Amino acid sequence: MKKLILLLLAIVLLLPIKVNAATVYTISSDNYTLFPKETIVLEILKNYEPVTGKIKWKSSNKKVATVTSKGKVTAKTKGKAVITATYNRKTYQCSIKVTASTEAVMIFQDNTSTPGDSSNSDDTGNSEASYITLSKYNSLNNGISYAETARLIGMEGTLLNTTETGDNTNVTYAWYGKDGSSNAVIMFVNDKLESKTQTSLQ
């Protein structure tokens, strides 16, 4: 009898035990910083997979950012807005910040410049151009500091984000072109230019 009980106990221990994991609902991102005319798509996730049910989307400020019934967000003008999604009677929110080119128009003052110095001229010869050009972007090499980058471009950048990774401090800035929508996004690691991308600069 004892052997039979031990055998049954061993069989029970070997059987797989099904554990129901808790269902987690989240929004795909709770904050974004966008340029005017940029778009993103937000989703409601169930255990990190997009749900298929009906979601109601709403923007708190349609002048800054709009959202479609499919969760597509379009940045309009400088400002802040909150995108709210309602799913299964619960709400989820994403904070949107739209950064306009006017934030980047802060002329970098080079104290070493002298009257008639054209080192900060744009491609047409106009001094202290308050926007980045493709030629200025191409002149930026990996390893230079933020201060040197701002001097070469002729203006300060717009801070997008700062993160810490181990001993490294990663800081990302944006500079805007003359049309206000073209831009360059540059990341510095420990104040050294690490990577750069540009969109539609001329």
Per-residue pLDDT tens over the stretch 143-152: 998 888 988 9
Model-level pTM?
A: 0.45
For residue 198, the surrounding DSSP H or E stretch is strand 192-199
More confident residue, 72 or 9: 72
Per-residue pLDDT tens over the stretch 175-202: 998 888 889 999 999 889 999 999 999 8
Per-residue pLDDT tens over the stretch 16-47: 655 556 788 999 888 888 888 888 889 999 88
Asked if pLDDT for residue 92 goes beyond 90, the answer is yes
Q: State how far the Cα of 38 lies from the Cα of 32, in Å rounded to an integer.
A: 11
**Pairing between strand 49-50 and 56-59?**
unpaired
